[in-house]
Amino acid sequence: MRSESIRYLIVPGWQGSPDDHWQSHWQRTLPNSSRVEQADWLTPRRDDWVAELERSVASDARPVVLVAHSLGCITVAR
């Protein structure tokens, strides 16, 4: 599969990922990458986080590779 035909979706965990975090670095360097932006990084609500992940995945028809960290892993597993 060519890299243009897939996208990378960064799924940060609790408190998000600051600019110097490895996830932010990957987002800047991986082609076709974007990030799930949760409404509340400090007080996560499972249903809200899962719904936002689902919206982010559904927003583009290309196959997606999820790159999750911390509570983002739990969100992906849910």
DSSP 23-62: HHHHHHHSTTEEE---S-SSS--HHHHHHHHHHHHHT--S
Average pLDDT over residues 20-29: 96
Percent over 70 (pLDDT), the chain? 95
Over the stretch 25-47, which tens digit does the pLDDT of each residue have? 999 999 999 999 999 999 999 99
pLDDT tier at 5, thresholds 50, 70, 90: confident
pTM exceeding the 0.85 threshold for the entire prediction = yes
The highest-level CATH class for domain 3-77 is alpha beta
